[in-house]
Amino acid sequence: MRRSLVAVVVAGLAVVTLTGASAGASAGSPVGSGRDRTLSFDVQFSGFFLLDFGPTGVREVPSVADPDLSPSRGDQIVFEDTLLRGGTVVGSGSGTCTVTAVVAADPPIALACQVTYQLPDGQVAAQGRASNAPVKNLAVVGGTGRYSGASGELTVTENGDEANTGSLVIRLDRH
């Protein structure tokens, strides 16, 4: 049971990062023009990396196959992912997710995540509660450049494939 929980946790912790096939505006579309904007990207997730804050100190866990992997409250997942459109790199996303609870539920891991996406015309920042489920919804809490004052919601979807890919859809509200 512990082993299967760890496998589920690790698969889910493969982190918050993006999905998509362009569905609306280009990455450079302004936010404040009176219409909602949707930005979509394919995501190449970075490899798994967890900082395990255990009773004997901090340990780096670079693989979900680590036999001693046992996520607990306070552990941090760190990531730097690549955003693509049509196979071309157009941006990146970096951030952390902190494990806030490991419970006997489905999904078993609760996370608090912060991420910033670097796009061609600025940055979009998001945060929120998530889990190790393959779909994560976060609040857009701001931005820079063309995305200054941005608000809205984003969805990161992990495909669960060996290539470690997914999608990101950012929905920006009027402001």
CATH number at residue 37: 2.40.480.10
Q: Which amino acid is at 19?
A: T
Q: Tell me how many domains the chain contains.
A: 1
Higher pLDDT residue, 156 or 70? 156
H helix or E strand, kind and range, residue 141:
strand 135-143
Domain containing residue 14? 2-172
Least confident of 6-15, 30-39, 91-100, 146-155: 6-15
Q: Is the model's pLDDT at 30 over the cut of 50? A: no
Q: How confident is the model at residue 104 (pLDDT cuts 50, 70, 90)?
A: confident
Average pLDDT over all residues of the chain: 83
In this structure, are residues 66 and 38 in contact, taking their beta carbons and an 8 Å threshold? no
Q: Take residue 30 and report the two structure tokens written for it.
A: 């302004």
pTM over 0.85: no
- Rounded average pLDDT over 56-80: 90
Q: Take residue 15 and report the two structure tokens written for it.
A: 């982190």
| Cα separation, 24 vs 77, whole angstroms | 31
Q: How confident is the model at residue 63 (pLDDT cuts 50, 70, 90)?
A: confident
| Cα separation, 31 vs 16, whole angstroms | 23
| Cα separation, 66 vs 154, whole angstroms | 31
Residue percentage of the chain with pLDDT more than 90 = 65
What does each C-alpha distance from 138 to 34, 53, 55, 135 come to in angstroms? 22, 25, 31, 10
What pLDDT sits at residue 160? 93
